[in-house]
Amino acid sequence: MKIVILGASRGTGLLAVKQALAKGYDVTAVARNVVTIQQECHASIAYSSLKISKGDVLYPASFDHELEGADVVISSIGVTNNKPTVLYSMGMINIIHAMHKYNVSRLICVSGIGVEVTPGMPFIMKLATKYILQPLLKNNFSDLLKMEAVVKQSRLNWTIVRAPRLRNGEITGKYRFAANEYLRNPLILRRSDLAHFIVNNIDNKQVFCSRVEISN
């Protein structure tokens, strides 16, 4: 299995790289700053199965060739501020274009539960999402919603994974997920568990063409 992971230099993407290597997959890890990937992964016994590639999803020529021969593309790209952004939408348009170019049909990408006030949220969370989180993160969320729309129109075997607030910590494997339904109380999740879901559901046809909510 050859996996391309975009947004691989930290957080969920980097954890997905490590977990995919541990499963014996061939991994191409793409980000703009690749030093951390080398630092974090060089001790892995599967290091020889890792290709590290400097690329920017907003510049197709910098990364699209890495998709040749891939079985799946995973995107965990993200911004660290709430300035107006096109990273998610334009980045995804470029990713999907590259996937079509190289006949790669499986895509898993990360979005956020907060883009929508859902029936599964407790009352207080609904209020906090609508009146605090969404105004605060309106630039991120509007571009994430554009990304989701682009993915849904892609004719790929896509999975959009909507994550709640992320935190760090070891894998627990104790998380819930629902495809095309709304989870009750989707409050928090470890990045390692998000990466675990992604890496372990690459072939799961039940989540193809699905929006998945995930939470602890």
The residue to which tokens 């049909």 are assigned: 105
CA dist list (Å): 87 to 56, 58, 92, 141 = 10, 7, 8, 11
In the complex, the smallest distance separating the C-beta of residue 14 from ligand NAP, rounded to whole angstroms, is: 7
- Quickly count: other Cβ atoms within 10 Å of residue 208's Cβ: 17
**189 - beta bridge partners?**
166
Distances (CA, A) of 92 to 64, 171, 213: 12, 28, 19
Say whether residue 56 binds ligand NAP (CB under 6 A): yes
Instruction: Return the closest-CA partner of residue 176 out of 214, 212, 142.
Output: 214
Query: What span, in angstroms and rounded, lies between the C-alpha atoms of 62 and 99?
Result: 14
The residue (of 40 and 68) whose beta carbon lies closer to ligand NAP is: 40
Contact flag: residue 57 with ligand NAP (CB under 6 A): yes
Residues contacting residue 149 through CB under 8 Å, at least 6 positions apart: none
Interface segment toward ligand NAP; rule CB under 6 A; list 29-37, 122-130, 175-183, 207-215: 29-37
Residue 166 structure tokens: 């992320």
Kindly identify the residues of this chain, within the stretch 99-118, that bind ligand NAP according to CB under 6 A. 110, 112
Supply 71's token pair.
């079985």
- Residues in 156-185 that interact with ligand NAP by CB under 6 A: 163, 165-166
Residue whose CB is less far from ligand NAP, 45 or 102: 102
3-22 positions binding ligand NAP, by CB under 6 A: 6-13
Q: Does 150 bind ligand NAP (CB under 6 A)?
A: no
- Closest to ligand NAP by CB, 18 vs 191, is 191
Provide the H-helix boundaries in the chain: 11-22, 35-41, 87-101, 123-128, 134-136, 138-152, 191-200
Residue whose C-beta lies closest to ligand NAP: 11
186 lines the binding site for ligand NAP (CB under 6 A): no
- Of 51-59, 98-106, 179-187, 202-210: span binding ligand NAP (CB under 6 A): 51-59
Instruction: Rank residues 40 and 181 by Cβ distance to ligand NAP and give the closer one.
Output: 40
Binding site for ligand NAP (CB under 6 A): 6-13, 31-33, 56-58, 76-78, 87, 110, 112, 163, 165-166, 191
